[in-house]
């Protein structure tokens, strides 16, 4: 550092304002080219093919099958989210309450499926749920015959919930880890029973984790494609399959695009609604 | 906190059930992979290694495996470099633009897979990128980038910037500071980003299903088509291999991490 630093300091500060952007630029260029441009193409085509106008959207919202599938997509996603919350809550709580060795084991239980390829996990569900599969063989041995699991909505929900469960456990755990248990003790010492202490102290403090997990799971579930395609049947088709069908089989880019835009808009509305909710609750939880 | 014994038992039971539900179903591929018959019906009959042999020798399977390996390796390097650069850039920006850019760069995580897939497919048809290595690498890189960004940003957040100032005040240049102080301290973040990027690419299926061609398939695409086409137990053999590889990687990583943390405390 010498006396000649003053001008180079200024150069450095002007470099500092553009330098960071330059560092992020390659990633941004790729983002625009491989995400932005394709999405713009799809939105454009949904209005422009085969002619300019809203025909694809009016077709989408006036065809009963589409509306049924749209509604079903939301119903299935909601069920998957509920199943995930119910299963993940006690599991994540246990992760905070046990010793380090058991915690490592529980963490492995969450992380291994998280990292095993989704196609392989769905394959296991195909093997388990098929008519000649494990669950049906077991049911048959106790005299229950002809229970259909594959190509039903139940099968799809079971498979999707298992694939998405880690996305619920991890945010829940990270919030629960930070909850000061002395608050629960304080509630108990002031006369609250265990149930009351849980519902008035612990549950509200853990809600940010529930919200965060639920939003992630619901959004991912909305766009699910592989599990419904392999486990589902015609009566459990979800929106993604319909989009794929329009584009790849029928070459109806406009209609497929319109469906995609509907899915996209639903996702972003949910995200926009969830953002402030999570941030606010998070702040409350942190104080 | 003391727990009522009944609550304890119920919690333990719930935990075991959920743990089993997470892990056990996937394990079903292990016995199926040794099936003697060409069928995925349960229970498997007999014992044979033929499906592992088929995976190793059948070009359809081995080519797609090596394709996936190649794509994932390039993607891991590319996404890590771009993601780390971007994380540094955002770290040095003012909060508002940094937050906005971060949100933009994370969009690939939340955009529904099929919507992205038809978009990329449409653009690739025009650009003649369908079924090409470049096409796969570009698409997978942008999908893997958010994971690198999150991992590196997390380690930059806990990184004490005064260490850089200290190094500079002791006479180290910017490059020397970066190489000897910054890089070693955020290396765990970069490394986990690299690993995440590799796995993201290696597992990616939805976009891959659209941009694939008979000449360029990745392993997940091959698995998917095999499941929909016939009941070939080779998929079970592949699943078993992937399961073992993942378990070793994650288990080893967690053990290493645990030991690290203990020694640094």
Q: How much is the pLDDT for A9?
A: 46
Binary contact (B246, A223; C-beta < 8 A) = no
Q: What is the pLDDT along chain A (287 residues), one digit of tens a residue?
A: 444 444 444 444 444 567 888 899 999 999 999 999 999 999 999 999 888 989 999 999 999 999 999 999 999 999 999 999 999 999 999 999 888 888 888 988 888 877 788 888 888 888 888 877 777 777 877 777 767 777 888 889 988 999 999 999 998 998 998 888 888 889 888 988 888 888 888 999 999 889 889 998 999 999 898 888 888 877 888 999 899 989 988 898 999 999 999 999 999 998 888 776 666 544 444 43
Residue A69 is part of a domain; what is its CATH number?
Answer: 1.10.3720.10
Predicted ipTM > 0.90 = no
B103 touches chain A (CB under 8 A): no
pLDDT of residue A286: 42
Contact B26/A at CB under 8 A: yes
Of B22, B90, B118, the CB nearest to A42: B118
Q: Kindly state the tokens that stand for A279.
A: 């941030």
B27 shares contact with chain A (CB less than 8 Å): yes
pLDDT at A277: 66
| Total domains in the fold of chain A | 1
Among all residues of chain A, which has the CA nearest to that of B107? A35
Domain topology for B65-216: MetI-like fold (1.10.3720)
Q: Is B12 on the interface with A (CB under 8 A)?
A: yes
Which of A22, A84, A123 should one mutate to test binding to chain B, selecting the residue with the greatest count of B CBs within 10 A? Answer: A123
- B 116-135 residues with CB < 8 A to A: 116-123
B16 touches chain A (CB under 8 A): no
Instruction: Tell me whether residues A119 and B93 touch, CB distance under 8 A.
Output: no
Q: Would you say A258 and A59 are in contact if contact means Cβ atoms under 8 Å apart?
A: yes
Q: Mean pLDDT over residues B99-124, rounded?
A: 93
User: Three-state secondary structure along chain A?
Assistant: CCCCHHHHHHHHHHHHHHHHHHHHHHHHHHHHHHHHHHHHHHHHHHHHCCCCCCHHHHHHHHCHHHHHHHHHHHHHHHHHHHHHHHHHHHHHHHHHHCCHHHHHHHHHHHHHHHHCCHHHHHHHHHHHHCCCCHHHHHHHHCCCCCCCCCCCHHHHHHHHHHHHHHHHHHHHHHHHHCCCHHHHHHHHHCCCCHHHHHHHHHHHHHHHHHHHHHHHHHHHHHCCCHHHHHHCCHHHCCHHHHHHHHHHHCCCHHHHHHHHHHHHHHHHHHHHHHHHHHHHHHHHHHC
Query: Does residue A30 form part of some domain?
Result: no
Look at residue A16 in the predicted model and tell me its pLDDT: 53
For B143-188, the pLDDT digits (tens) are 999 999 998 998 888 888 888 889 888 888 888 888 888 888 888 8
Looking at the domain assignment, is residue A22 inside a domain?
no
Q: Would you say residue B261 has pLDDT above 70?
A: no
Question: Rounded to a whole number, what is the distance in Å from the CA of A110 to chain B's nearest CA?
Answer: 7
Assigned domain for A32 exists? no
pLDDT exceeds 90 at position B72? yes
In order of B90, B92, B208, the CA distances from B96 in angstroms are: 10, 12, 35
User: What average pLDDT does range B23-29 have in this prediction?
Assistant: 88
User: What residues 39-98 of chain A have any CB closer than 8 A to a CB of chain B?
Assistant: 39, 41-42, 45, 87-88, 90-91, 93-94, 97
Give the number of other CB atoms < 10 A from CB of residue A50.
12
How much is the pLDDT for B260? 55
Mean confidence (pLDDT) of chain B: 88
Is residue A115, in this structure, part of any structural domain at all?
A: yes
- Give domain limits for chain B: 65-216
Cβ of B89 within 8 Å of Cβ of A24? The answer is yes
Which pLDDT tens digit goes with each residue over B232-260?
889 999 999 988 888 887 777 777 666 55
Domain membership of residue A2 (yes or no) is no
- Contact of B173 with chain A, judged by CB distance below 8 Å, is answered with no
Nearest CA distance, A136 vs chain B (angstrom): 9
Return the pLDDT at A87.
94
Q: Residue A115: which of B25, B141, B250 has the nearest Cβ?
A: B250
Instruction: Give the per-residue pLDDT at A4.
Output: 44
**In Å, how far from its chain's centre is CA A164?**
7
- In this prediction, residue B250 carries a pLDDT of 76
Is position A280 within any domain? yes
Across B63-72, average pLDDT: 94
- Domain, as residue range, for A82: 57-286
Flag whether residue A115 sits within 8 Å of chain B, measured between CB atoms.
yes
CA distance A215 to A222: 11
Residue A39 placed within a domain = no
Q: CA triplet A23, A24, A25: central angle to 5 degrees?
A: 95
Closest chain A residue by Cα to residue B20: A109
Give me the residue from A41, A116, A257 closest to B242, CB to CB. Answer: A116
Q: At B108, is the pLDDT very low, low, confident or very high (cuts 50, 70, 90)?
A: very high
Q: Is A277 within a domain? A: yes
- Chain B residues in contact with A263 by the CB 8 A cut-off are 112, 114-115
């Amino acid at each position: 550092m010498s006396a000649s630093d003053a001008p180079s300091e200024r150069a450095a500060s002007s470099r500092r304002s553009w330098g960071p952007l330059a560092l992020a630029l390659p990633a941004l260029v790729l983002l625009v080219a491989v995400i932005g441009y394709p999405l713009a193409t799809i939105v454009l085509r949904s209005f422009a093919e085969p002619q300019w106008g809203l025909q694809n959207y009016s077709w989408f919202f006036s065809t009963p099958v589409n509306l049924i599938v749209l509604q079903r997509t939301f119903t299935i996603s909601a069920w998957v989210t509920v199943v995930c919350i119910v299963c993940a809550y006690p599991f994540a709580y246990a992760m905070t309450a046990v010793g380090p060795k058991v915690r490592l084991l529980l963490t492995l239980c969450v992380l291994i499926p998280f990292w095993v390829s989704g196609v392989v996990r769905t394959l296991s569900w195909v093997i388990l749920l098929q008519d000649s599969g494990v669950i049906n063989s077991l049911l048959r041995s106790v005299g229950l015959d002809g229970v259909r699991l594959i190509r039903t909505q139940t099968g799809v929900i079971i498979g999707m919930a298992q694939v998405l469960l880690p996305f619920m456990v991890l945010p829940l755990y990270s919030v629960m880890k930070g909850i000061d248990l002395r608050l629960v003790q304080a509630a108990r010492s002031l006369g609250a029973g265990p149930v009351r202490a849980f519902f008035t102290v612990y549950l509200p403090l853990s809600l940010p984790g529930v919200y965060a997990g639920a939003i992630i799971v619901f959004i991912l579930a909305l766009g699910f494609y592989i599990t419904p395609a392999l486990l589902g049947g015609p009566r459990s088709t979800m929106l993604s399959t319909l989009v794929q069908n329009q584009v790849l089989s029928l070459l109806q880019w406009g209609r497929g695009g319109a469906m995609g835009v509907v899915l996209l808009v639903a996702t972003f509305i949910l995200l926009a609604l969830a953002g402030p909710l999570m941030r606010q609750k998070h702040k409350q939880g942190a104080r | 906190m003391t727990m009522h014994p009944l609550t304890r038992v119920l919690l333990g039971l719930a935990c075991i059930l959920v743990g089993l539900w997470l892990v056990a179903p996937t394990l079903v591929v292990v016995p199926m992979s040794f099936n003697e018959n060409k069928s995925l019906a349960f229970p498997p009959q007999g014992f044979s290694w033929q499906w592992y042999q088929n995976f190793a020798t059948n070009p359809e399977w081995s080519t797609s495996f090596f394709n996936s390996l190649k794509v994932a390796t390039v993607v891991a390097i590319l996404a890590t470099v771009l993601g780390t650069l971007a994380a540094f850039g955002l770290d040095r920006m003012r909060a508002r633009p940094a937050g906005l850019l971060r949100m933009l760069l994370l969009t690939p995580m939340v955009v529904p897979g099929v919507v992205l897939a038809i978009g990329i497919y449409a653009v690739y048809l025009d650009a003649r990128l369908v079924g090409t290595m470049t096409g796969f690498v570009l698409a997978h890189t942008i999908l893997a980038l958010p994971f690198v960004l999150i991992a590196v940003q997390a380690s930059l957040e806990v990184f004490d910037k005064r260490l850089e100032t200290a190094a500079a005040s002791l006479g180290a240049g910017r490059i020397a500071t970066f190489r000897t102080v910054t890089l070693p301290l955020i290396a765990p973040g970069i490394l986990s980003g690299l690993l995440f990027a590799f796995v993201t690419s290696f597992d990616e299926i939805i976009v891959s299903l659209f941009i694939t061609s008979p000449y360029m398939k990745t392993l997940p695409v091959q698995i998917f088509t095999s499941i929909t086409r016939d009941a070939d137990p080779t998929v079970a053999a592949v699943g078993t291999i992937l399961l073992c590889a993942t378990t070793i990687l994650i288990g080893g990583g967690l053990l290493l991490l645990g030991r690290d943390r203990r020694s640094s405390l």
